[in-house]
Structure 1
Amino acid sequence: MTCKRRFKMFRKMVLLTLGLAITLTACGNPNVQNEALTHIRLPMGYIPNIQYAPFYVAVEKGYFKEAGIEIEFDYAFETDGVALVGAGELPFAVVSGEQVLLARAQGLPVTYVAAWYQQYPVSVVAKSELGVVVPQDLKGRKIGLPGLFGASYIGLRALLAAGKLTEADVTLDAIGFNQVELMAAGQQDIVVGYAANEPIQLRAQGIAVTELRVADYAQLAANGILASEKVIAENPELVRAFVGAFLKGLKDTIANPDEAFELSKAHIPNFSELDEGVQREVLAVSIEQWQAERLGYSDPAAWENMQNVLLDMGLLSEKMDLSKAFTNEFIP
């Protein structure tokens, strides 16, 4: 055997041995593959809930992992998420449309990069015997809501405006997030909540209610994905990957709610103790609000309408450049 042939055989053996060592190391340590993933903590703005099914599906079906992302759900209040993204400490958060405009008015460099909800999810719920079937029927009524803040308050103001009413035409009662309990106890007759939550829970308890959905009277920018201008400028591919993975989960949830329901269970503590019928209805109503010809698309008119509501409320002092508040650049 020539020296040249012996060298080739030796080189081949070294490469095979090295390849085997790498393979065994990877097999022995399942975290090796995960080391290449980008870890993202995502503020959700609410507690674990079946309404987050698109995110859970994207995790369970490996869409985030395929996009190079390891995701950690953080169920803090949405205002915390906005502040953290605005400060550049986190790249993304789940927020409502009004939060984006209010944050930008305060100088926070944030942009909404994908719409999750196509309909503003807030409703006014009233006991049926009151006969509240149009916004004008709210005149002179006492209305319970979490407080004079957030999506519930914004949605109520939009609904009042649709009925040519003002806040002076009603009595607002700040009751915290106890709408169902207080209404069931007879301490409230009209409350503001979410279409996929309070009315479903109340009906499940045998309480007959009517519902005024804000989305039936006003098209407003709703819940979606917020990103920092920093990550958009420095790592647009991460934004595209994150949005793409989420939208795959959203598409699959809409197409196969039963599968999404099952995949979500592992992410919701004590799910077995919840009423399955109620949870399935929550998901069904949520899906109604997510439907769109182009998932993730932000309607410019919805942002104009939201800005006008905030201006009328005095929460914004002047119009802003909405082209910087949202973008459709990262959706398919």
Structure 2
Amino acid sequence: MRKFLFVMLTLLVIVLTACSSNEQGASSEENEKELKEVSIVLDWTPNTNHTGLYVAKEKGYFKEQGLDVDILMPGETGADQLVASGKAEFGVSAQEALTHARVQDIPIVSIAAVIQHNTSGFASPKDKNITSPADYEGKTYGGWGAPVEKAVLSSLMKQEDADVEKVDIVNMGNTDFFTAVKRDVDFAWIYYGWTGVEAELRGQELNMQYLTDYSEKLDYYTPILTTNESMINENPETVSSFIAAVSKGYTFAKDNPEDAASILIDAVPDLDEELVKASQKWLSPKYQDDADQWGIQEKETWKNYSDWMYNNDLLEEQLQVEDAFTNEFLPNKE
């Protein structure tokens, strides 16, 4: 009798364990199915500006928020157009581009600043002897053909009584900075966190005039994360979940630059490993910088730059600043 009871109890345990296992398996499958699929379109090829996104994906922060996020390259159609049309839920952009879009009634909104301060400026090899905007006269500038370039050059040069009309402005196209300054141009506009760090690794000394050294109005947010008005109005929970995961990703990258760099390298193995690690070390402290938390945006920053654009005839009308950005989806500070 005891032997019979023991056998029956053993069978019961096996059955219950099997049921529990099946339930867990079904539950796991259901959780996978319940993940909401969304996409984010990058502004350029992957680089350390995007590390927090790859960290959030690799470390499961998106899944924790119930999201399955696809990170897409921009292709011929830029991120702003894809986000505005609803073909992608999120994108990477810059304050300048979004300001133009808003003035043209394109319904995209900035939901987080990736970096707190503008790290860009005009760079030249040291042997060109360009040490200030006054030295741009008589030199060749290589750009990409945007009206804002001449306006920024003029703004900096005017402070030193120099004339932008004495600068030869040419379009570099897809030519990289290092090839261009050897062949066609004297200086170009770069982001130090990538191209400047690469110059260091190459042992090429640069003279650099950062925009923020000449005007606080040029201290704008670049890059930023965006979504469209429909997502904000119809799917605010998804936007909050996305930003919660991304905030966690960039905070990890801020605190763990080496590990974060490794995650980006593993995700995009074509990248130069040495450059990614050096760039990440340089950039990680600048994600949050002097802000209270990662991602926060200030009205004054948006107003300063849009006023500058308007005063330099880069906008047809003033930007409605309150409609261009929001902090409402950032997680509450602990």
Question: What TM-score do the two structures reach when normalised by structure 2?
Answer: 0.83
> What is the Cα deviation at residue 166 of structure 1?
6.1
> What is the Cα deviation at residue 87 of structure 1?
1.7
1:266-289 per-residue CA deviation (whole Å, 9 max, x = no partner) reads 211334xx251x322211232243
Is residue 49–residue 114 contact of structure 2 (8 Å, CA) maintained in 1? no
Q: Which amino acid counterpart does residue 233 of structure 2 have in structure 1?
A: A
TM alignment of 1:217-256, pairs within 5 A: 217=214, 218-256=218-256
Q: How many correspondences in the alignment?
A: 310
Selected match of 2:42 from 29, 41, 44: 44
Which stretch shows the higher mean deviation, 96-105 or 125-134?
125-134
CA distance in 1, matches of 2:102, 2:45: 26
Is residue 137–residue 167 contact of structure 2 (8 Å, CA) maintained in 1? yes
> What is the Cα deviation at residue 228 of structure 1?
0.7
Matching of residue 162 in structure 1 with residue 162 in structure 2: no
Is residue 184–residue 202 contact of structure 1 (8 Å, CA) maintained in 2? no
CA distance in 2, matches of 1:211, 1:223: 20
> What is the Cα deviation at residue 262 of structure 1?
1.7
Any idea what SS the aligned residue of 1:163 has?
helix
Unaligned segments of structure 2, at least 5 residues: 1-13
Name the counterpart of 1:308.
307
Name the counterpart of 1:213.
210
TM alignment of 1:281-320, pairs within 5 A: 281-290=278-287, 291=289, 292-320=291-319
Is residue 113–residue 225 contact of structure 2 (8 Å, CA) maintained in 1? yes
Name the counterpart of 2:86.
88
> What is the Cα deviation at residue 41 of structure 1?
1.4
Any idea what SS the aligned residue of 1:126 has?
strand
Any idea what SS the aligned residue of 2:295 has?
coil
Q: Which amino acid counterpart does residue 174 of structure 1 have in structure 2?
A: N
> What is the Cα deviation at residue 127 of structure 1?
1.9
> What is the Cα deviation at residue 68 of structure 1?
0.9
Question: What TM-score do the two structures reach when normalised by structure 1?
Answer: 0.84
Is residue 136–residue 160 contact of structure 1 (8 Å, CA) maintained in 2? no
Name the counterpart of 1:4.
none
> What is the Cα deviation at residue 315 of structure 1?
2.9
Is residue 158–residue 309 contact of structure 1 (8 Å, CA) maintained in 2? no
> What is the Cα deviation at residue 18 of structure 1?
5.9
CA distance in 2, matches of 1:309, 1:79: 28
CA RMSD across the alignment: 2.6
Q: Which amino acid counterpart does residue 263 of structure 1 have in structure 2?
A: I
TM alignment of 1:1-332, pairs within 5 A: 19-25=20-26, 32-76=30-74, 80-145=78-143, 147-149=144-146, 154=148, 157-158=151-152, 160-164=154-158, 167-183=164-180, 185-217=182-214, 218-271=218-271, 274=272, 276=274, 278-290=275-287, 291=289, 292-331=291-330, 332=332
CA distance in 2, matches of 1:35, 1:167: 58
Name segments (4+ residues, structure 1) moved above 4 Å. 13-20
CA distance in 2, matches of 1:312, 1:77: 33
Any idea what SS the aligned residue of 1:197 has?
helix
> What percent identity do the matched residue pairs reach?
24
Name the counterpart of 1:6.
none
1:201-260 per-residue CA deviation (whole Å, 9 max, x = no partner) reads 233333221111223333113211111111111111111111111111111111111111
CA distance in 2, matches of 1:44, 1:54: 12
> What is the Cα deviation at residue 42 of structure 1?
0.8
1:78-126 per-residue CA deviation (whole Å, 9 max, x = no partner) reads 9621112212332211111111111112211111111111122322111
Unaligned segments of structure 1, at least 5 residues: 1-12
Which stretch shows the higher mean deviation, 252-261 or 70-79?
70-79
